[in-house]
């Protein structure tokens, strides 16, 4: 029997390189996956790509995770159409190695750094009841290495990612009594379309800070998520696991 047969997984940011790969790996393990993204076209395309290899395994759902009411409505819809959620993967957007641009005034607004954090709060809260009733339930947050080490000109993103790490630990404590584990995966710099567009000089400078001397692949992140979602990880909770080639050493 497949590892996640009969399980329903929600993957936010599902139209990104990391989100698509996570959704694909969970589908390969037998889960039915709700691929969630702000873009309707993006999540539908991601679902179609997954279904090409695993027929009927993925469904696209469009929502802005910062919209509290919309997220709750969407989770109810997922429960009705696919079934109760037992795996939640919340992904914040890629930030490592972003272009260093001057910060705008709105970036310093206390409300702006919380955008990723608000999305995580809304999504976890909306799925909370289902997860507490599910067998072997999992919450896995995907944050960023800048939440551990900081990054100049990305102060607002660092605050958000660090907050997501603290949020992970708090949720792990809060839901532990109901058997829900909550962990965070911290990617380093990843080979994606975003990183591919950056000047070679910028990428070379980043590589000098990575002991393994290469960027991470989305498959590396998905592999860890698949493990944390599996029964083998039932006793792991509140952990912050970096997949960064040694960048934070």
Q: Is the pLDDT of residue 186 over 50?
A: yes
Residue 3 lies in a domain: no
Q: Is the pLDDT of residue 51 over 80?
A: yes
C-alpha–C-alpha distance, residues 138 and 30, integer Å: 15
C-alpha–C-alpha distance, residues 137 and 130, integer Å: 9
Residue 19 lies in a domain: yes
Q: Are 43 and 62 in contact (CB under 8 A)?
A: yes
Comparison of pLDDT for 122 and 103, the residue scoring more: 122
pLDDT tens, residue by residue, 210-221: 899 889 999 999
7-16, 103-112, 137-146, range with greatest mean pLDDT? 7-16
Task: Please tell me the predicted confidence (pLDDT) of residue 176.
Answer: 97
Of residues 185, 243, 245, the one with CA closest to residue 210: 245
Residue 216 lies in a domain: yes
> What is each CA distance from 143 to 8, 92, 125, 243, in whole angstroms?
22, 6, 18, 11
Q: Is the pLDDT of residue 109 over 60?
A: no
Q: Is the pLDDT of residue 207 over 90?
A: no
Listed range (55-69, 104-118, 164-178, 195-209) with the worst mean pLDDT: 104-118
C-alpha–C-alpha distance, residues 99 and 116, integer Å: 19
pTM (2 d.p.): 0.89
Q: Averaged over 102-119, what is the pLDDT?
A: 57
The boundaries of the domain holding residue 15 are: 8-243
C-alpha–C-alpha distance, residues 81 and 121, integer Å: 23
What rounded mean pLDDT belongs to the chain? 87
Paired tokens of 247 = 């960048």
**Whole-number percent of the chain with pLDDT over 90:** 65
Residue 1 lies in a domain: no
> What is each CA distance from 211 to 47, 186, 204, in whole angstroms?
35, 16, 13
Q: Are 216 and 188 in contact (CB under 8 A)?
A: yes
Residue 2 lies in a domain: no
Residue 78 lies in a domain: yes
pLDDT tens, residue by residue, 230-248: 999 999 999 999 998 988 8
How many Cβ atoms sit within 10 Å of the Cβ of residue 46? 27
Residue 135 lies in a domain: yes
Task: Please tell me the predicted confidence (pLDDT) of residue 154.
Answer: 63
Residue 22 lies in a domain: yes
Domain count, the chain: 1
Q: Is the pLDDT of residue 97 over 50?
A: no
CATH of the domain at 36: 3.40.50.720
Of residues 203, 213, 200, the one with CA closest to residue 245: 213
Comparison of pLDDT for 156 and 221, the residue scoring more: 221
Listed range (126-135, 179-188, 204-213) with the worst mean pLDDT: 204-213
DSSP 38: S
Listed range (43-57, 81-95, 195-209) with the worst mean pLDDT: 195-209
pLDDT tens, residue by residue, 121-138: 999 999 999 999 999 999
Task: Please tell me the predicted confidence (pLDDT) of residue 182.
Answer: 98
Q: Averaged over 172-179, what is the pLDDT?
A: 97
């Amino acid at each position: 029997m497949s590892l996640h047969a009969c399980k329903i997984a929600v993957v936010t940011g599902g139209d990104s390189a990391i989100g698509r790969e996570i959704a694909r790996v969970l589908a390969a393990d037998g889960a039915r996956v709700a691929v969630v993204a702000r873009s309707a076209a993006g999540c539908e395309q991601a679902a179609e790509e997954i279904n090409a290899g695993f027929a009927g395994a993925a469904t696209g759902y469009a929502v802005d995770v910062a919209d509290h009411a919309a997220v709750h409505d969407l989770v109810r819809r997922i429960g009705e159409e696919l079934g109760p959620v037992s795996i939640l993967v919340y992904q914040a957007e890629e930030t490592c190695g972003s272009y260093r641009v001057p910060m705008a005034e709105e970036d310093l607004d206390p409300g702006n750094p919380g955008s990723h954090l608000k999305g995580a709060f809304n999504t976890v809260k909306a799925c909370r009841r289902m997860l507490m009733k599910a067998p072997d339930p999992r919450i896995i947050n995907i944050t960023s290495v800048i939440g551990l080490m900081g990054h100049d000109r990305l102060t607002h993103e660092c605050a958000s990612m660090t907050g997501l790490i603290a949020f992970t630990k708090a949720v792990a404590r809060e839901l532990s009594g109901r058997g829900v584990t909550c962990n965070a995966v911290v990617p380093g710099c990843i080979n994606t379309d975003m990183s591919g567009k950056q000047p070679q000089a910028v990428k070379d400078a980043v590589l000098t800070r990575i002991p393994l001397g290469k960027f991470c692949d989305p498959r590396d992140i998905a592999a860890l998520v698949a493990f944390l979602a599996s029964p083998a990880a039932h006793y792991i909770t509140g952990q912050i696991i970096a997949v960064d080639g040694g960048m934070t050493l």
